[in-house]
Amino acid sequence: MMINEDLIKYMRTIQPARTETYTKLEEIAIAEKIPIIPEETGYFLRLICSLYKPQNILEVGTAIGYSTLWFHDNSEAQIDTIEIDEDRVKRSRGLFADLGYDKRVRVHHGDANDILPTLAKQYNFDLVFIDAAKGQYKKYFQEIDAMTDKGSIVITDNVFFHGMVAGIKAPTKKLAPLVKKIQAYNHMLKNNDGWQTTFYSIGDGLSVSIKR
Q: What average pLDDT does this structure show over 106-113? A: 97
Q: Is 111 annotated as a binding residue?
A: yes
CA distance 141 to 93: 25
Q: Is 112 annotated as a binding residue?
A: yes
pLDDT score at 121: 85
Query: In which band, very low, low, confident or very high, does the pLDDT at 3 lie, cut at 50, 70 and 90?
Result: low
Query: In which band, very low, low, confident or very high, does the pLDDT at 81 lie, cut at 50, 70 and 90?
Result: very high
Predicted TM-score (pTM) of the model is 0.95
Decide if 117 contacts 143 (C-beta within 8 A): yes
Query: In which band, very low, low, confident or very high, does the pLDDT at 6 lie, cut at 50, 70 and 90?
Result: confident
Reduce the DSSP state of residue 152 to 3 states and report it: coil
pLDDT score at 1: 42
**Domain 5-211 bears CATH identifier 3.40.50.150:** yes
17-58 residue pLDDT tens? 899 999 999 999 999 999 999 999 999 999 999 999 999 999
CA distance 140 to 130: 8
CA distance 61 to 130: 7
Q: What average pLDDT does this structure show over 103-125? A: 94
Backbone angles phi, psi at 78, to 5 degrees: -80, 130
Q: Is 131 annotated as a binding residue?
A: yes
pLDDT of 93 over the 80 cut: yes
184-199 residue pLDDT tens? 999 999 999 999 999 9
124-151 residue pLDDT tens? 999 999 999 999 999 999 999 999 999 9
Decide if 156 contacts 209 (C-beta within 8 A): yes
Query: In which band, very low, low, confident or very high, does the pLDDT at 104 lie, cut at 50, 70 and 90?
Result: very high
Percent of the chain beyond pLDDT 70? 99
Q: Where are the beta strands (DSSP E) in 21-180?
A: 56-60, 78-83, 105-109, 127-130, 153-157
Decide if 26 contacts 39 (C-beta within 8 A): yes
Q: Is 97 annotated as a binding residue?
A: no
Nearest to 64 by CA among 81, 33, 97, 88: 88
Number of Cα atoms under 13 Å in the Cβ half of residue 204: 16
Q: Is 113 annotated as a binding residue?
A: no
Backbone angles phi, psi at 88, to 5 degrees: -70, -35
